[in-house]
Structure 1
Amino acid sequence: MAEVTQRARPLSVGPLKASPPLGAALAMLGMDRSIPLLHGAQGCTAFAKVFLVQHFREPIPLQTTAMDQVSAVMGGDDPLQEALATLCGKTRPALIGVLTTALSETEGADVQRVIRRFRADHPEYDDVAIVPVATPDFTGDAEAGFTRAVTALIDTLVPVSDRAGASPRQVNVLAGQHLTPGDVEALRDVIEAFGLEAVILPDLSGSLDGHLAPARLAATTTGGTPVEALQRMGESALTLVIGDALAPAADRLRARTGVPDLRLDTLMGLAAVDELLVALSRLSGRPVPSRLRRERSRLQDAMLDSHFMLGAQRVAVAGEPDRVYALARLVQEMGGEVVAAVATRKAPILGRVPAAQVRVGDLEDLETLARQGRAGCLITNAHGVETARRLGIPLLRAGYPQHDRLGGFQRTWIGYAGTRQTLFDLANLQLESAGHQAVAPYRPLHDHPPAEAPEHGPATPPATGCPA
């Protein structure tokens, strides 16, 4: 078990984490025809919108109740009521996620009561699902907010059922915040390769995969998991839970439906992907498809090709706990050393991170620990660019945000193919770094062209390809 330490400073220098409302908004964006509504000041929503737009380079449908100083003192019930009526009347979404912020939580907003009042006053909007989520900025991180949103979706939209297994070829997937849209799409492809159908909560691959929507500017998400699909989750034969952070949501889903679950902390690495495929093969009664067997052999070859570089690599990792664990474990499996792991919040999985030092902190902590551990590579989001520059080592961008690169949001990290590409990227960073000393190729004597004779004196004898 790794010892997890907390930073002693009462402030962050080089903040690493994003806020819980942003993480909850990300989960809501994985639902079809949905609108996340942040109950707070206008600036809270503006920051989250800019953050997500820079990362995905897509229009992000976020709305706000725009609380001001008057509503902060006198109460924010009326702005929330008006916002719900406006959204339902103008855009008619399938789902509105009401996410609290530090302002509304400090003011003491009773969101549940406002929603009940809205339902009583506007029965014509009963077809619009409204899901409240408590996500104060002052506790947790984006991963925690994402989990709270998924849990709230289950509580509100998944009915209590005793029909587990009624659809024997249906599989629920609770997809963690550390999975990219590319990861979710790859996971669905693997499940469907066994002849199974996946109900993914939430499905970012349908809404934030970088597609051109039919409308020039949509007021709601244009893809993702339909609200109606959550009604069928109680009939599935199995629930796949990807990421330890989703344990509370998994507990709630199992309690409401009785569907058994398989909890996987990571889908990076040979052993982790093997475990997933064995479970799907047993459930479907089908052998692992030849395509996936081929991908496995490619990963094995990549492990052989890259182990010379990665076996001696010293890496520092920073991000949300599930992401830190997945990346640190992959580095360890390849024989590398994780000299430092910095996480955004304290979580149970941090105790299993294979790192010399594990700390809950910020980018300054990452820089200090990486320097002490003589790290040769950093893995964190794009905010670590300056940290890597000061340390003079390369950076592999992972997580949110990646505002200085195109396509980072769609990259696939999981599965055999995703793991293979990650190994190649880490090895190439090592090869490109200034301090890497590659073994010079052997060149026999006859491969050297004869040296030209100088103007005066005998020609210099050619160098030999091996020591005397």
Structure 2
Amino acid sequence: MAEIIKRNKPLAVNPLKVSQPVGAILAFLGISNSLPMLHGSQGCSAFAKVFFVRHFREPIPLQTTAMDQTTTVMGADDNVFKGLETVISKRQPALVGLPTTGLSETQGSDIQGLVKRFYQQQPQLADTPVVPVITPDYSGGLESGYALAVEAMIRYLVPDNATQVGQQPRQINVLASAMLTAADLEYLRDLIESFGLTPVILPDLSDSLDGHLVDVDFSPVTVGGTPVAAFKTLGQATHTLVVGHSLHKAADLLQQRTGVPDTRFSSLMGLKAMDQLVDTLHRISGQPVPARLERQRSQLQDAQLDTHFMLGFARIAIASDPDLLYSFTGLVREMGGEVVAAVAPHNAALLAEVDCQEVLIGDLEDLEQQAAASHAQLLISNAHAAETSRRLDLPLLRAGWPIYDRLGAQHRLWIGYSGSRNTLTELANLLLSEHHKHEIAPRTSIYARGETSCVT
């Protein structure tokens, strides 16, 4: 059990946190033909859009209610009504996600009441679902905002009916945490299908933000993702897999609405976590474990043997959202490494279960100070930690969100037997490069360079 230490600084010196509205937008981007619309200023949406474009290297559909000085003081109800009418009439999305921001929450906007009034004023647009979600910037972070959006989608789109369980006996619902990349979700889909099951992933970023070319030159809504119609079928599944502790509230609501039993995983990194998932799929499907998975498992075991010389007793510092922090800590500890610094941008119940002495709720300055004081050998964090890595002269494994100084962030596979093997190998290689960097340079004899002296 880790001790949770809350920050006492009045400000974030080197911010680690990504705001809740960005997390909510990320969740809505995993829904097919959806359109997120931030209830806030134009600057809020512009800043978020820059983050998304730099991370995914893809066009991002995003709208805003464009609150200004006047509407912030006098009320921005009309902005919401006009914004919804415009985007639904012109863009014709299958769903509109409506997250709030710190500005609209401070202004006191009743976003859920506004949506009800909008449908009363515009009954002809009632066929397009609008999902409001309260996500102020000053609370939580990307992971909690993402989870709130998933919970809101279940609340507004999933029928309250617990009598259809098992009507689709091969269907498996998957609630996917914000820590999973598009490659992770694709791996998870292939894994479930290898047992003869049909996964419905919510939200499905592997289908919308995996980096693929489309036939149209421009799309004002998301291309790919979970269809809105799939929400009505969630109650017909035989089981639900929940990946990530942050989605437990959403999972509770889904189970209450549908009666579908679930199994929950806080991590899918490492041998133990993956064995639990494979055993669960084996029991649900009644199918034998595919030989391909047996081989991938043996490959991970071989990688563990190869890398334990470098990773055993390695001193590693990690800064990320709680779900990802828990996953990486578990992987490091499984290899005998030591997490000497653990920093999360916001508190969560899962942090108490992280396998280290303490978890600090703080920023990248806290990570830098703790890593230096604990003589860390390697850092794991997002791209914002690049300067921390440079100042400490330590290697950095870029993970989490955002990663804007490297290509292919969504193509990185972290989970499963294959992803765990790749991660262990990369960690070991980074430690090897760090070790060789500080070796004493070999002395070269003058005679090896062909220099001779002439005696007369």
The TM-score, its normalising length taken from structure 1, stands at 0.93
**Cα deviation per residue 1:153-192 (whole Å; 9 max; x = unaligned)?**
0000010122112211110000001111111111011000
Structure 1 residue aligned with 2:124: 124
* Distance in 2, Cα, partners of 1:26 & 1:166: 31
Equivalent residues, number: 446
| Aligned match of 1:76 | 76
Deviations 1:313-350, CA, capped at 9 Å, x for gaps: 11000010000010011001001110010001111111
SS at match of 2:98: strand
Change (3 A) 1:125 1:433: same
The Cα of 1:112 is off from its aligned counterpart by 2.0
Match of residue 159 from structure 1: 159
2-structure distance, mates of 1:388, 1:285: 48
Once the 2 structures are TM-superposed, how far is the Cα of residue 437 of structure 1 from its aligned partner? 7.9
Matches within 5 A, 1:257-296: 257-296=258-297
Report what 1:188 is aligned to: 189
Q: Give, in whole Å, the separation in 2 of the partners of 1:79 and 1:437.
A: 59
Q: Deviations over 1:381-424 (max 9, x none)?
A: 00000101111110000011110000012211000000000001
Sequence identity of aligned pairs in percent?
A: 54
- The 3-state SS of whatever aligns with 1:203 is coil
Task: Read off the aligned partner of 1:251 and give its amino acid letter.
Answer: D
Aligned to 1:462: none
Question: CA separation in 2, counterparts of 1:382 and 1:3?
Answer: 27
Using the alignment, how far apart are the partners of 1:314 and 1:105 within structure 2? Answer: 42
Q: Can you list the C-alpha shifts for 1:13-36, whole angstroms capped at 9, x where unaligned?
A: 100010000000000000000001
Amino acid in the other structure paired with 2:57: R
Q: Compute the displacement of 1:9 (Å).
A: 0.8
> What CA distance in whole angstroms lies between the structure 2 residues aligned with 1:318 and 1:138?
19
2:111: which partner in 1? 111
Equivalent runs, 1:322-337 vs 2, <5 Å: 322-337=323-338
One-letter identity of the residue aligned with 2:235: G
Rate the CA distance shift 1:43–1:451 in 2: closer, same or farther, 3 A.
Answer: closer
Relative to structure 1, the CA distance from residue 220 to residue 451 in structure 2 (aligned partners, 3 Å threshold; closer, same or farther) is: closer
- Counterpart in 1 of 2:47? 47
Counterpart for residue 28 of structure 1: 28
Return the alpha-carbon distance in structure 1 between the equivalents of residues 136 and 451 of structure 2. 79
Deviation for aligned residue 1:451: 13
After the TM superposition, which segments of 4 or more aligned residues of structure 1 sit over 3 Å from their partners? 434-438, 450-457
AA aligned opposite 1:99: P
Q: What is the distance in 1 between the residues matched to 2:217 and 2:309?
A: 49
Give distance in 2, aligned partners of 1:437 and 1:406: 29
CA–CA separation in structure 1 for the residues paired with 2:408 and 2:450: 51
- CA deviations on 1:335-382 (whole Å, 9 max, x unpaired) are 111001000111111111112331000000000110111000000000
SS of structure 1 residue aligned to 2:318: strand
Match of 2:444 in 1: none
Secondary structure in 2 matching 1:171? strand
Aligned pairs for 1:276-425 (under 5 A) are 276-425=277-426
Q: C-alpha distance in 2, partners of 1:403/1:421? A: 21
The alpha carbon displacement at 1:266 in A equals 0.2
d(CA) in 1 for partners of 2:272 and 2:109?
Answer: 47
Query: C-alpha offsets along residues 260-281 of structure 1, whole Å, 9 cap, x if unaligned?
Result: 1100000000010000010101
The 3 A distance-change label for structure 1 pair 455 and 50 is: closer
Distance apart, 1:62 and its partner CA: 0.7
Instruction: State the distance in 2 between where 1:453 and 1:99 align.
Output: 73
Tell me, in whole angstroms, the C-alpha distance in 2 between the residues paired with 1:427 and 1:356.
23
After superposition, the Cα gap between the structure-2 partners of 1:435 and 1:355, relative to the gap in structure 1 and judged at 3 Å, is farther
TM-score of the two chains, using structure 2 as the length reference: 0.95
Decide whether aligned partners of structure 1 residues 451 and 59 sit closer, same or farther in structure 2, where only a CA change above 3 A counts: closer
TM-fit CA distance, 1:454: 7.4
* Structural RMSD (CA): 1.7
Deviation at 1:435, TM superposition (A): 5.4
1:435-454 CA distance string (max 9 Å, x none)? 5789xxxxxxxxxxx99997
TM superposition shift of 1:121? 2.3
Segments of structure 2 that go 5 or more residues without pairing to the other structure are 440-447
**Native 8 Å contact 1:430 1:436 kept in 2:** no
Structure 2 partner of 1:89: 89
Larger mean CA deviation between 352-361 and 237-246 belongs to 352-361
Give a deviation string over 1:24-82, Cα, whole Å, max 9, x none: 00000000000011001110001100001000000110100001111111111100000
Amino acid in the other structure paired with 1:315: I
Counterpart of 2:19? 19
Matched residue SS, 2:165: coil
Larger Rg: 1
Change (3 A) 1:262 1:451: same
Q: Distance in 2 between matches of 1:12 and 1:357?
A: 20
Aligned to 2:443: none
Aligned in 2, Cα 1:127/1:51: closer, same or farther, shift over 3 Å?
Answer: same
